[in-house]
Structure 1
Amino acid sequence: MELASLIEAILFYRAGPMKTGELGKMLGKKPDELDHALVALGGGLANRGIRLVKTEDTVALATAPEASHFMEVLRKEELSGDLGKATLETLTMVLYRAPVGKSEIDYIRGVNSASSIRTLLVRGLIERKRSEETSRRFVYVPTLETLAYLGISKAGDLPEYREVREEVSRFRREFSSGGGSAFGGQNANDEELVKPSEEESTIAAHGEENA
């Protein structure tokens, strides 16, 4: 696979801004090689529905400005329609495992949960916070409104809360003892949380407007 295509796949999976330094390290490429591939990717997407957005040290994929009207229609549907099975699964993971990172949600569900997480964030059912274990990661927790809607004051009041958490923890320990590292440390699926620069904020805003 060409480097530009591989970068496109990684950014699509990440579903958000990514530091070029992290991207280069992951791919084992020098800055000039990475820049060349990003130029090629940007050119290839110039007339497509997805565009490459790039600042000095951050890149992301975003929908084309010309499609903004249709993106707004989809956004309204997300806010008004019923939650699908995938989104309910993700919400359940957050309720029973909070604070939980995207990488753990993805691993246990077996699929990329970026879309479901975004829907839950847009609807105010979950919120994103800085991890207490490492300041470079986001974790997700249910909002107070979600707990109130469920008629509970804390997640521990959920049915079989302790049993479910213990079962997931056992699964996690068994996986880790087998040499896996889906949940530990900083990896490609963990969202970095650093104080955004003005340029990074521009990328984030662009992505939200065209999501």
Structure 2
Amino acid sequence: MAETGLVQILEGALLAAGKPLTVAQLAELFEEHERPENAAIREAMKEVAERCDDRGFELVEVASGFRFQVRQNLSPWVARLWQERPAKYSRALLETLALIAYRQPITRGEIEEIRGVAVSSNIIKTLHEREWIRVVGHRDVPGRPAMYATTRQFLDYFNLKNLDQLPALAEIRDLETLNAELGFTEPLPESAAPAADEGSEPAASEAEGDGPGLTVVGGTDHVEADEPYAEFIVAEELAEAMTDLTEAAEPEAAEEEPEASANPEQQV
């Protein structure tokens, strides 16, 4: 098969699929006797990516495979194709998601210990409904609290191939180090307190809603401390949220009411 033909077939498949496709899935497009090697497919994908250099879209590889997506700098214009307002997320939700992303697996009780406030049941519910987090086990302590981790959908949404592509925050991957920076005198034990009662809703919750179907990444500026974020948030905001948690949180401030998260800014 001519290389040009392979490139065209792969381009067409990605456009028609409307979702990421892995190398294995792309290989399945061909009859066995003409099926290209995985290396040939990856080489062809490089050419596809090069062809997008001067276009309004690009080829990226995320956790679920390759996909075409609108370039990040064009999202303010492309987003106007949808009349409904995109879903907005509170700072409390974004902080919770960032902690799960960087400290997974982590329990609800551990999140509350770090943030200093209770985690709203609405926040956990919304993160589950967005399929950004999942339960990966239970801590072997009294109450057996659920341990949360991020999902493949989380990686896809935030344009990541794997968790290694999250902004580097090695200094806060150690929970005890993070606690020290936040001013906690005692390190958080492995047997952190069980998750708070699901019926309690003391913390801020975010408005739910479905975003547009087109893959549009980034493009949102930071908002004031008391405002939520729009749906098009970029992965780098995770780092900013966690940096604020470590740099701006004082022991007294950490114990303020849930909505008082003006210093720590969260994103996912």
The TM-score normalised by the length of structure 2 is 0.35
Larger radius of gyration: 2
Length-normalised TM-score, structure 1: 0.43
Higher helix share: 1
